[in-house]
Amino acid sequence: MSGWSGKKVLVTGAGGFIGSHLTELLVGEGAEVRAFIHYNSRSDWANLDQLDPSVSSELEVVPGDIQDPFAVRRAVEGTEVVFHLAALIGIPYSYVAPQSYVATNVLGTVNVLEAVRAEGVERVVHTSTSENYGEIQYSPIDEKHPLQGRSPYSASKIGADQMAVSYFRAFEAPVSTLRPFNTFGPRQSLRAVIPTIAAQALSGTTVKLGSLSPIRDLTFVEDTARAFLAVAENDTVGLTLNAGNGKGITIGELAQLVIEVAGSDAEVTADEEERVRPDASEVPELICDSTQLRELTGWAPQVTLPDGVERTVEWVRDNLTGLRADVYNV
């Protein structure tokens, strides 16, 4: 029997890309999952609507806003483990609406940490991002690498990370931080590079991207979801742990791989006007050193990049009509 069987768990941001996969995994492990999703008047559950009914029927879905401390406190009440994934994540949109990122990512994290303290939660896993490392000083990147905010998004996530660490140090809050490098897979929005390449390749003859030279370390979403469980199951309180494959690929090379898997002959072009980040904001290389996570928990990625891309392309193909590949959304 799984150690999660009967465990009362909250996932904030459960309707998001990674959050929906983590929620699905936890239900499969037998946990009693409360899914905190962003309230909307349409009564939709975001990516949770794509789960098999056998999974979604097991969920307690709680709509709310991570910026509201009262809603967060009610969501945390009665749970044993909290996975905090709720965040604004789009980097381009952070140039347009920076204060929204502070309110959601920093203050939202404080709301979760305060609720965890008040309710006596056993464990909380906070979600970071590899974007926080900024311009690399050495590669692969371990957890000792300096943090540098090169976009309002990454600055807000650094602030959230520091709040999590401060609550551990000041209040002995049982918080660990997982810092995933780039995650991909089914249900990811077209703001992410692999789905947008696939959608454009499947629906036209041109794939428009930003800079093609950045190097990224890509992990399939099911492996990232397993990393969250690994962190919560082991003695990692007070630590920040990287999760990634340790292998880099340029965006240009990645585009060719995705186009090939899609069976397309689309040409790749750089969209200088909309999709290229400001020069001083671009992060040129992110390759993960996840030695600590592997040694402490035994976690290791299981899905290869080609296999993960194939599964992602098939999901995009099946959902292409609703993805609006012709529209660039910051």
Give the span between the Cα atoms of 91 and 275, in whole angstroms. 11
List the Cα angle 261/265/270 in 5-degree steps. 95
55 part of a folded domain: yes
The answer to the question of residue 276 being in a domain is no
Number of domains, the chain: 1
Does any domain span residue 204? Answer: no
Place of tokens 């991002």: 129
Each of the 330 residues of the chain gets a pLDDT tens digit; together they read 579 999 999 999 999 999 999 999 999 999 999 999 999 999 899 999 999 999 999 999 999 999 999 999 999 999 999 999 999 998 989 999 999 999 999 999 999 999 999 999 999 999 999 999 998 999 999 999 999 999 999 999 999 999 999 999 999 999 999 999 999 999 999 989 999 999 999 999 999 998 899 999 999 999 999 999 999 999 999 999 999 999 999 999 999 999 999 999 999 988 756 555 566 667 889 999 999 999 999 999 999 999 999 999 999 999 998 887 767 666
Domain that holds residue 164: 8-182+220-244+289-301
153 is catalytic: yes
Q: Is 209 left (phi over 0), alpha (psi -120 to 50) or beta?
A: beta
Domain presence at residue 178: yes
pLDDT per residue as tens digits for the range 63-104: 999 999 999 999 999 999 999 999 999 898 999 999 999 999
Residue 328, amino acid: Y
Report yes or no on 227 lying in a domain: yes
Tell me the whole-structure pTM to 2 decimals: 0.95
Distance between start and end Cα atoms, the chain: 44
Give the whole-number percent of the chain exceeding pLDDT 90: 89
Report the CATH number that the domain containing residue 147 is assigned in CATH. 3.40.50.720
Q: What is the dihedral of CA 184, 229, 100, 34, to 10 degrees?
A: 110
pLDDT tens-digit series, residues 277-297: 566 667 889 999 999 999 999
DSSP track, 203-237: HSSEEEES-S--EE--EEHHHHHHHHHHHHHSS-T
Catalytic residue among 93, 133, 138, 153: 153
In a domain, 155, yes or no: yes
